[in-house]
Amino acid sequence: MATQVWGICGASGSGKSTFALALMARLGAEHVSVVSFDSYYLDLSHMTPEERALVNFDHPDSLDIPLLCAHLDALHAGQAVDAPVYDFAVHNRTAVVQRIEPRPIVVIEGILVLATEEVRSRLDYTVFLDVPDEICLHRRLERDVRDRGRAEEDVRRRYAETVRPMFERHAAHRAPGCDRVIRFGEDRVEVMEELATWIGIS
């Protein structure tokens, strides 16, 4: 089959990365490559750690959209790319890159996947994960405190001030136009089987 680019969108904590990896596991790694939009935050090496901590990372302007689009185009054309690797603890890219191989399905997942026309125009199929706000916040708190060394009060403040408002402003309204909206509580196994059948992979 020709390469398709799929976009998986949803709020922070909605389970986008988990869903993308589950999809790859169900369809087979030989059929799916996963790209994280979070890897494409702009390189802020020219800024101090204190300055980087003040950046609104929940706005589309914080992302290197031209680089992401170039990589999606290359993958669509059958060419491997070296995606950036981002360190959330210091708010900056690392010197490491991750090799992404072209596959029949290239999945790009992220909160702001649907926020810009440049990315949306490259998507052949879109999935939106509709998860209640309180569950998203709980998941974000657990992850950021456990994995990123953040203080709980800082996570709550950032979520209220920028994370959720930017999602509502730039992405949430795109849900009705998506090819598949997955509601919280839907059986994910059944959803995977539905998508596998639709793609034609048994």
The residue ranges of every structural domain in the chain are 4-194
How many residues would you count in the chain? Answer: 202
CATH of 4-194, picked from 1.10.1740.10, 3.30.450.40, 3.40.50.300, 3.90.870.10, is: 3.40.50.300
The pTM assigned to this predicted structure is: 0.91
- Mean pLDDT for each 10-residue chunk of the chain (202 residues)? 90 95 94 95 86 87 96 95 89 90 96 97 97 96 89 92 96 96 94 89 73
- Cα–Cα distance for residue pair 197/154, rounded to 1 Å: 43
